[in-house]
Structure 1
Amino acid sequence: MTLQTQVSDKLTTALELEYFEIANESHMHNVPPGSESHFKVVLVSRAFENTMPVKRHQLIYKILSDEMQGGIHALALHTYTPDEWQKRKEQAPDSPDCKGGSKIH
């Protein structure tokens, strides 16, 4: 099972999601081809209502604690209530370009 599949399974099992998207963005970083270390996750759930973004992220980190300790280097979280998602016109922000190590040696 890939790390992306493992993350997807855990999040969709633990949370009642109205919308879910996961993207492996490792190719945008200075990592070997085929890596699974950088992910963007968009989650829309009523479970986030009346919860500050930091608490939402803490919940996700708890659900993915094993993966965060062994494989995930970066996790871009975009967590919304259904109303927030509608106000954003069902769009999450694009990830910025990597500012880390250069691929040119």
Structure 2
Amino acid sequence: MLSAQQLEAYITQNLACEYIKVLGDDGTHFESVIVSSAFVGKSMVQQHQLVYTALGDRMRSEIHALSMKTYTPEQWNKQSA
């Protein structure tokens, strides 16, 4: 069974993140907040595609559902203020 911490590690291995938090305790359904400068200038769909690419085949096999909130560092700082 996949843990939220393992999923965080999978994402950060292939995507530089300023902040990441993944929640989920059933092993297949997860919620995440991901902040990355790689998202700058990209649409939400493109940002999500970067995360899916970072996860590779795991998205088809191990992960049933991943809810994502993606932010650039600037967006994250504005939201956190």
- Of 71, 84, 89 in structure 1, the residue corresponding to residue 62 of structure 2 is 71
**Residue aligning to 1:41:** 32
Give, in angstroms, the shift of residue 65 of structure 1. Answer: 2.8
Gaps of 5+ in 2: none
Assess if the C-alpha contact under 8 Å between 2:10 and 2:55 holds in 1.
yes
TM-score using structure 1 length: 0.67
Q: Which has the larger radius of gyration?
A: 1
- Of 14, 26, 49 in structure 2, the residue corresponding to residue 58 of structure 1 is 49
* Paired amino acid for 1:48: F
Runs (4 or more) in structure 1 with deviation over 6 Å come to none
Gaps of 5+ in 1: 27-34, 91-105
* Paired amino acid for 1:57: H
Local SS of the residue matching 1:50:
coil
Structure that is richer in helix per residue: 2
Q: Alignment length, in residue pairs?
A: 81
How big is the alpha-carbon RMSD for the aligned residues of Structure 1 and Structure 2? 1.9
Assess if the C-alpha contact under 8 Å between 1:22 and 1:41 holds in 2.
yes
Local SS of the residue matching 1:8:
helix
Distance 2:8 2:47 in 1: 17
TM-score using structure 2 length: 0.84
Give, in angstroms, the shift of residue 73 of structure 1. Answer: 1.5
Distance 1:11 1:52 in 2: 19
Structure that is richer in strand per residue: 2
**Residue aligning to 2:12:** 12
Distance 2:10 2:20 in 1: 12
Percent identical among aligned pairs is 38
Q: Deviations over 1:18-51 (max 9, x none)?
A: 1110101x5xxxxxxxx31110111111111001
